[in-house]
Chain A
């Protein structure tokens, strides 16, 4: 608006300048009048022109001054907002820290004591069910904290160094964690050719822990059969976790890896596990997707595929 107003006055000044030139040409060149007789008219137009130009410049200067003030105010505002955001970030980190340390400690005690009771052969079967229920709830709370922490770690990129790791050892570690997470379930893991090296970091264990956990969670039977198949795709390894669980319907296949989506089945979760899997695998430059174990019949189990690029690929 301010510059629009100044522009209006500048245009007026140009108009006067043109009029002045026209008058000069008309009087001196066309009507052959002497310059002396033309001079008062020229002075008149000239004076108006100069006044207009000066006025327009002062107007522009004032507008520039205002603009500078606006700019300073904007900078102050941005600075204040940045400070507020930094404070908000610190507060959120504080709560996350509190959650990951203090609540993790409390969960450790709850789960640990329940676990020791579950190991006691004198505990009755009816009591065992109650204990497993309490243990599962505490475990769920722990998993939420763990996943949130891992996502924060990935975002901060602290302490992550890729190195060569054996898939066999990664699977063993993940399997140990899964076995400990589901007391009372019989979980059998078959792996055809696990003897490959992956160029990854420690977070790879979480990928397979989440995939194997999901396979157990979504298998309604007490006994769980999980197969891991490895394929060489040239520049990358494809590792497939195959289960015989309730499967993933076609309409949600693309949604399961998204944040806060979860399958509307009888098993609860925060939907962070598969999102974490995708986030970690994407960092390695790999892909994740899910398909039916038996093509066209999702109810007979799923195949969760992960690709990991080979070193230097």
Chain B
């Protein structure tokens, strides 16, 4: 059996984004976003019978039973893949509702990455970073910017990809954040601003790197049947997949350090969905770093390996461009909510609720996740 159109995203919710706007703990931000998503779907919190808390260590399934008074939670799981977790959870939730285990699965996240412990500084506390922690952290390979930079450097050396091409991604994403109206970064950014920003881990400059944010976001995944009776237009999950790179825990030992988990996941998701990359009208691409967007565009098949730099030039990723990407401002300029905000935005776009950032006529799009040194996840959706 296939998960094709067995599940739908029925509710979306998020907190205000922007430094100093949020009040409360990571747990309360998560609850606030979850209640918003459940209300958006037209459900009661007691209707939630499945939950996949993103494995940030903030909330467990029990917290939702306790806070919402859920009488009979039938399904709980985690998909601990860092930034690939949220989109990977769509596949897990779709499997649960498709098989009748439950009907409405909540996918919540909340974090205080700005005011609390910085994410970039504590990755080595996670078990999936154990190998790097022992063998590379003592050498100075401390944070994700440093861990990923050699992939970007090799791409540049092999294919001639430039820092100005990476800047195109940051600049376009910032423009979208400003259109969004609910974003952490609100000042226009130019390619020159990017080129003048301080070097973090060569080739990554400050504006190649994503934000550290306080906030929350959540979505509800329901069975496609149950979704018919709910408040919002249905957004059906046509295809979903996760993929893990070879040598998943350490990039240094990966046979091809450019190859990421999405290379395995994307063909599966497209086959399930019965569409091709040329059918995609809007794409929310996980953007912890600009280069990671560029490389995922290649792995999905929007262009050939090595051609990502040319593909993103000339505002191609802008609204009205060849492939509108990260129409909400992404992790680079809206907020770092591990990509849950990417799912929220894709659903908003496909419902036609994108506001000033709406891609005209968009009814079919995709969202990706990327994390833990290259795990990948993807979901292809359509309004229907």
Asked if chains A and B come from one complex, the reply is: no
